[in-house]
Amino acid sequence: MDGGTQSWANSKESVIHCTEQDIALLKEHHADMILIQEADFNSTRSYYVDQKQMFIDAFPNVSSDFAVNYHSAFLFYPPYQPHGASNAGLLTMSNIQITSALRRSLPVAESFSKFIDLDRCFSVSRMKTENGKELVVFNVHTSAYGTDGDLQRQQLGRLFGDMQAEYEKGNYVICGGDFNHDFAGNSKEVFNKEVPAFYNWAAPFPDELIPQHFSKLTDYKSGLTVPSCRNCDKPYSKDCFVLTVDGFIVSDNVEAVSMDVIDTQFAYSDHNPVELTFRLK
C-alpha cells in the first residue's frame, strides 16, 4: 500500500518472530497499559497468525479489550498479490481492571478507497480511580490511504467530541495511537533531507481541532530525534522516508511526567512505540 512490491509478510515464521520480539519489548518496559494498533487475526497478509491472541496470552494477568477496525472478506488488490482476507483491530491491555469498553465507529471514505479503509473506529476503555472518577483511555487509528483532509477532520472531530464529553464528566482522559498525521507538525522536515510530493498523506496534525483542556504531547524526552513511522515502499535503510505519526493527547488533569519514542530501528514493525509516564492529578 506504500508503493512496495509485497502486500503479505515474508512468511508465517516471520510474522511469529516479529510478534514475539514486540512482546519481548513490551515486557522489557513493564508497561501498566499497552495500546496496540493493527493486531491481526485470520488475515491473509499475516498468514492467519492470531497476533491478537499472542499478545493476550503473553500477558495472562492483565485486563484487555479488542475492537475490530479492519475487516475485509477478500480484497482483490493489488493484482499481483491480492491483500485477501483481512481482520485487524485495536488491542488495549491494562494492569488496572477495565470495567467496560466501547467501540466507536469513525466516518470512512465513500470513494474506492473505502475498500481498503473499512471499519475505522476507536475504542474507549474505562478504569475506576480511588477518588470515584474514571480513567478513560482512547485507542485510535485514523485513516491514511486515499483519505482527504475533510474526512480526517471528521474522524478527529468525533474522537475529540467524545473525549471532551468524558472530561466534562470529571474523568481523566488519555488518547493514544496512530493518527496518520505528522504528529509533531514538522517531523517530516526534521527527519528527511527532502519530502517528495507523493508523501502528502502525512499532513501536519490539525492542532486547532484539539479541544480546550487537552494537550498534544510533543515534549520528547530525547528531543525530536527518533521517528515513530517509516514508509514501506522499500526495505528499511537510513534514507527511508520517516516521520512521527504516533503519540498521546491528554486532558489537563493528567500530568505527563515523561514521553519518548523508543528506537527499535523498525526491526519488527513499520512503527516505533511511544512510551508515556503519567500521573493523575
Look at residue 84 and give its three-state secondary structure. strand
Taking only the tens place, the pLDDT of each residue in 135-194 is: 999 999 998 755 567 888 899 999 999 999 999 999 999 999 999 999 999 999 999 988
Helix (H, G, I), strand (E, B) or coil at 148: coil
**pLDDT tens digit sequence for 182-241:** 999 999 999 998 887 777 778 899 999 999 999 999 999 999 999 999 998 888 998 899
Model pLDDT, residue 116: 52
**98 closest CA partner among 133, 136, 72:** 136
HEC assignment per residue over 166-210: HHHCCCEEEEEEECCCECCCCHHHHHCCCCCHHHCCCCECCHHHC
The structural domains of the chain, ordered by start, are 12-280 (3.60.10.10)
Per-residue confidence (pLDDT) for residue 110, from 0 to 100: 64
Residue 269 CA to residue 281 CA, distance in Å, equals 34
**Percent of the chain residues topping a pLDDT of 70:** 94
Question: Taking phi first (over 0 means left), then psi (-120 to 50 degrees means alpha), and beta for anything else, what does residue 88 get?
Answer: beta
